[in-house]
Homo-oligomer: A and B are copies of this chain.
Amino acid sequence: MSATYLHPRPALTVDCVIFGLNTGLDELWVLLVERGQKPFKGRWAIPGGFVRVGESLETAARRELDEETGLRDVFLEQLYTFGEPDRDPREHVVSVTYYALVNLDDYELEAGTDAKKAAWFPVKRREKELAFDHRRILDVALARLRGKLSYQPVGFELLPRKFTLSQLQRLYEIILEQPVDKRNFRKKVLAMGILRDLGEVQENVRHRAAKLYAFDEKAYRQKEKAGFHFEL
């Protein structure tokens, strides 16, 4: 394939910052791929690649994510577009970035098509030497994720379908990297009215069994439409 243009154009890529939480809720992870080619060969990078003519940005993001890591059906949200001319040493590359938060256990990583390895890294242990300006992109994504968490019920989908309030609280604490008051958290989250009490409890735990809840998506959609705010 080849194309000629009257004026040279910057290249256009999409990059996906995928945050992951395991069901154990230990830590926040980020999905990176090892670069198989120059530049930055051998360095870890945010998965992404070139946008093809005729595909939407989000489609491109999904495709690249699938190709490089095997992840599919992720809910992506646009983050920011980075376009400094020197962010790629080869040429001027503009990158439209997306981010998402997924349950890490739901996805099996596959080897990328072009000898790329994909792996989860703890966000806390900041891998210093990411390729390109990907450290900066990661930082922007993390700030956005935290900002969003405080005014929208992000993350319910990440938990097992039946979860305890403590699990939900731990989720918030891990992402925000700060402790949350148990009683106030429960009050607020129950007051939102988007959790269904399943009437079941945990089994085989060596402490008092916790009640199980489910995310009531129908109620959520309704309240969202009505302009309800979900601050936490």
Seen from chain A, the residues whose Cβ lies within 8 Å of a Cβ on chain B are: 1-12, 50-58, 60, 78, 80-81, 83-85, 91-92, 94, 96
Number of copies: 2
Q: Residues of B contacting A78 with CB < 8 Å?
A: 80-81
For chain A, what secondary structure do more than half of its interface residues adopt (helix, strand, loop), or is it mixed?
Answer: loop
Contact present for A53 and B8 (CB under 8 Å) = yes
Contact present for B92 and A54 (CB under 8 Å) = yes
Known: A83-B57, A96-B81. A51 touches B10 (CB 8 A): yes
Which of A8, A51, A83 has the most chain B CB atoms inside 10 A of its CB?
A: A83
Q: Residues of B contacting A94 with CB < 8 Å?
A: 12, 51, 57, 96
CA distance A80 to B9 in the complex (A): 20
Q: Residues of B contacting A58 with CB < 8 Å?
A: 83
CA distance A12 to B84 in the complex (A): 14
Question: Min CB distance, A204 to chain B, in Å?
Answer: 44
Q: Residues of B contacting A10 with CB < 8 Å?
A: 12, 51, 53
CA distance A7 to B11 in the complex (A): 10
16 new A-B contacts, CB < 8 A, other than A2-B7, A5-B9, A78-B80, are A2-B4, A2-B5, A2-B8, A4-B4, A5-B5, A7-B50, A8-B52, A9-B9, A9-B53, A12-B12, A53-B91, A56-B83, A57-B83, A78-B81, A83-B96, A94-B96
Q: Residues of B contacting A8 with CB < 8 Å?
A: 1-3, 52-53
CA distance A53 to B11 in the complex (A): 9
Residue of B whose beta carbon sits closest to that of A92: B53
